[in-house]
């Protein structure tokens, strides 16, 4: 996924950190859809740097994926509304306003969640995606 986005945004610096063995209990195509939306948004609206961290937490039942950028972020008062279908803050860039709604809907189908915060490291947006671990889902 990261390779595909780096071709589109060749001037953006992408860093990947964290667990390379973490597994989540969702379909591969759904995971690709979610991560594609989040990483592309970070590249599109960021200032040139995108950090993706896999599994920064230690929750045994959940895997977290953080996507951070160095853009202007999303004001806290807009962080709920931006998940509405068609909602966009920056209409000067191409897009439909469906990406975050899709991310939220797909994550919730699997019992997961997505939250928006401010990135302490980069100053832009921090998206925290929380998905069930594969071992937990398959044991149920």
pLDDT in tens, 114-132: 999 999 999 999 999 999 9
In the numeric block, which tokens belong to residue 67? 């996507």
- CA–CA separation, 113 vs 49, rounded Å? 24
pLDDT in tens, 86-111: 565 665 665 656 789 999 999 999 99
CA nearest neighbour of 48 among 77, 68, 25, 32: 68
pLDDT in tens, 29-80: 999 999 999 999 999 999 999 999 999 777 889 999 999 999 999 899 888 8
Residue 139 has pLDDT above 60, yes or no: no
Residue appearing with tokens 């960021």 = 46
CA nearest neighbour of 12 among 52, 64, 63: 52
What domains, with CATH codes, occur in the chain? Answer: 2-139 (3.30.565.10)
Contact 103, 116 (CB under 8 A): no
């Amino acid at each position: 996924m990261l390779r595909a986005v780096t071709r589109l945004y060749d001037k953006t610096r992408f860093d990947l950190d964290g667990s390379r063995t973490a597994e989540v209990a969702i379909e591969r195509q759904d995971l690709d859809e979610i991560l594609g939306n989040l990483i592309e948004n970070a590249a599109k609206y960021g200032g040139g740097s995108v950090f993706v961290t896999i599994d920064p937490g230690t929750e045994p039942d959940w895997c977290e994926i953080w996507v951070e950028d160095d853009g202007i972020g999303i004001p806290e008062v807009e962080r709920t509304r931006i998940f509405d279908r068609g909602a966009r803050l920056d209409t000067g860039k191409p897009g439909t306003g469906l990406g975050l709604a899709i991310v939220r809907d797909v994550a919730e189908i699997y019992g997961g969640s997505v939250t928006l915060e401010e990135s302490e490291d980069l100053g832009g947006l921090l998206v925290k995606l929380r998905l069930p671990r594969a071992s937990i889902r398959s044991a149920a």
